[in-house]
Amino acid sequence: MSRAYYITTPIYYVNDVPHIGHTYTTVVADTLARYHRLCGDDTFFATGNDEHGEKVAQAAEARGVTPQAFVDEVAAEFRSTWETLGFSFDRFIRTTDADHRKNVQNILQQVYDAGEIEFREYDGLYCVGCERFLTDRDLEDGLCKDHERAPEKRSESNYFFKMSAHFDWLVETLNNQPDFIRPERYRNEVLGMLRDQSGLEDLCISRPKERLEWGIELPFDSNYVCYVWFDALINYLTAAGYPDGDGFERHWANVDHLIGKDILKPHGVFWPIMLKVMGAPIYQHLNVHGYWTVEGRKMSKSLGNVVSPLTMRDRYGFESFRYFLLREMVFGLDGNFSESALVARNNGDLANKLGNLVNRALNMTARFCDGQVPSPGTPGASEKSVADAAELARREIDGHLSALEFHRALESLFAFVDRVNQYVDERAPWKLAKDPAARADLETTLYTACEAMRVIGVLLAPFLPEAAAEIRRRLGSTTEARMEDAAWGQLQPGTATTKGDPLFPRFEEPDGAAS
């Protein structure tokens, strides 16, 4: 039986349209999902939208529409964008979905019945942007660190999840499972929160309806709705079929969450404790990435530098943008986007290296072998070194993806591309073609180049699925790639090939902004 694998993105809040930050996380999730499918794993990939809370209610009111109409419009835009960009998700979940609402209410009742929720008075500083009460740790010069504005003083009676009683358990879990939160710096950050505890306390999980009606009603008190984060985190269970859907237990036992570092606290503290109290297994890994800046500056609407994935697709093709995101950011650290850097990556790696290899190998096969893969002779040392390089690339890509080293996985793949280009230069088939006595060497060389291209078309599939499929199509294959296809020597002599247009066009240096 194949292994199970479940990958999630955060469900994106409906206060914005898709931008480079959302896109990067989804590209990473899609790459991992595609890689696990390539390896034959029983893979499930979920993404979606977080649709409740005070910010949504305020945005809807400002637009003069109901909250439901507002979230329907934004969710449709997210889903349409992700489908247009070719992401391979299995479930697009919305927190307004009926099965999610049912799960949230059932879990709330379960936790309440277990004595883990209590009603109490609370005075504090509330940030509408964060949709929660703040502590001193969250403030800088009296302002919310994330939203740079003063919080409101509020006094309310609310329900609280007795989260602090489980902090010691979470510390023990983090110490016993060093890769529970990756990279390690974020595990250390959560341990610091738990050690300090000035920014942590019991979690307020309700909002009074007299202030906010847009949310999931508490099953034990109809005067309150659920706090948006307690609601939102449960999406990961719902999306996979909780509590008794087909395959739920297998997938949940192998779940990887992907998030940006701005939502580390709810995912690294709230969520595992919620799962513990529910009696559900905790997630396998929480994988945390950094921020994208644009031309070295923080991305913001006011600066006009928000990067749209659809704009990048229209300007450069989405796979060039996708390649840049995976190749340029070291997972866990911040990355910087510029169109100049994207063009340099496209022209250098994709057009000059990969595209040039595909172009010249197929052109020479068309010219010297009537467009058919030739029969190779006995491989020599050069051919064996190319086959060895293919196997090395496969092993290294597997190791790097297991460690979330997407940039290094692509380095390994393009090291193989470089080796094949070097081999073609060394063997110089255009010279061999001039010597009738070298016909066997010519055919061996072109077979090796085409076979290397075929392997590249398999290994590239998780990263650039459209380009990988096109490479395989030009070599006569229209089937889905499988990892066993990366084994050397499977290309059949006599296979008809297609030259086609350049795989990746070159672009000029951009003049304008990246928005």
Continuous segment of H or E residues that includes residue 473: helix 465-474
Cβ–Cβ under 8 Å, residues 203 and 92: no
323 φ, ψ (degrees, to nearest 5): -60, -45
Is 22 an annotated catalytic residue?
Answer: yes
Q: Which of 102, 145, 298, 431 is catalytic?
A: 298
String of DSSP letters for 179-192: TSEESHHHHHHHHH
- State how far the Cα of 330 lies from the Cα of 292, in Å rounded to an integer: 11
Q: Give me the pLDDT at residue 514, please.
A: 45
Say which amino acid occupies 515.
S
In a domain? residue 493: no
Both 98 and 32 in a single domain? yes
* Domain shared by 236 and 374, yes or no: no
Inter-residue contact 464 to 27 (CB < 8 Å): no
Q: In the numeric block, which tokens belong to residue 467?
A: 């380009």
Catalytic residue among 130, 162, 353, 499: 130
The helix or strand, by DSSP H or E, that contains position 287, with its residue range, turns out to be: strand 285-289
The CATH number given to whatever domain includes residue 354 is 1.10.730.10
Identified catalytic residue from 102, 147, 384, 431 = 147
- Rounded to a whole number, what is the distance in angstroms from the first to the last CA of the chain? 46
pLDDT of residue 510: 82
* Residue spans of the chain under pLDDT 70: 1, 131, 137, 198-199, 512-515
Annotation says 55 is catalytic: no
Task: Calculate the CA 308 to chain-centre distance.
Answer: 16
445 assigned to some structural domain: yes
Residue 127 annotated in active site: yes
pTM of the model: 0.94
- Active-site entry in 36, 52, 100, 144: 144
Question: Is 204 a known active-site residue?
Answer: no
Q: Which of 19, 36, 267, 400 is catalytic?
A: 19
* Locus of tokens 């009738």: 436
Residue 431 has what pLDDT?
97
Query: What is the C-alpha to C-alpha distance for residues 410 and 413, in angstroms, rounded to an integer?
Result: 5
Q: Which of 145, 301, 384, 431 is catalytic?
A: 301
Q: Could you tell me which of 442, 477, 468, 448 has the C-alpha nearest to residue 387? A: 448
pLDDT at 28 (0 to 100): 98
pLDDT at res. 130: 74
In a domain, 511, yes or no: no
pLDDT at 512: 53
Contacts with 142 (C-beta within 8 Å, 6 or more apart), sequence order: 150
In this structure, are 224 and 347 located in the same domain? no
Burial class (CB in 10 A: 0-12, 13-18, 19+), 381: exposed
Stated as kind and residue range, the H or E segment containing 123 is: strand 117-127
- Give catalytic status of residue 407 as yes or no: no
Q: CB within 8 A of 231, min separation 6: which ones? A: 52, 95, 104, 215, 216
> What's the burial of 210, exposed, middle or buried (CB within 10 Å: 0-12/13-18/19+)?
exposed
Whether 306 is in a domain gets the answer no
The number of domains in the chain is: 2
CA–CA separation, 246 and 192 (whole Å): 39
Mapping DSSP to helix (H, G, I), strand (E, B) and coil, where does residue 297 land? strand
Looking at the domain assignment, is residue 61 inside a domain?
Answer: yes
Is 450 labeled as catalytic in the residue annotation?
Answer: no
Whether 298 sits among the annotated catalytic residues: the reply is yes
> Which residues lie closer than 8 Å to 281 by C-beta, 6 or more apart?
252, 253, 275
CATH code for position 121: 3.40.50.620
Residue in 36, 100, 127, 369 annotated catalytic: 127
Do 465 and 388 have their domain in common?
yes
- Look at residue 305 in the predicted model and tell me its pLDDT: 87
Beta carbons of 317 and 274 less than 8 angstroms apart: no
Determine whether 19 is an active site residue. yes
Same domain (yes/no): 285, 343: no
Give the separation between CA 49 and CA 33, rounded to whole angstroms: 19
Does residue 49 sit within a domain? yes
Residue 482: domain span = 339-486
Do 378 and 245 lie in one domain? The reply is no
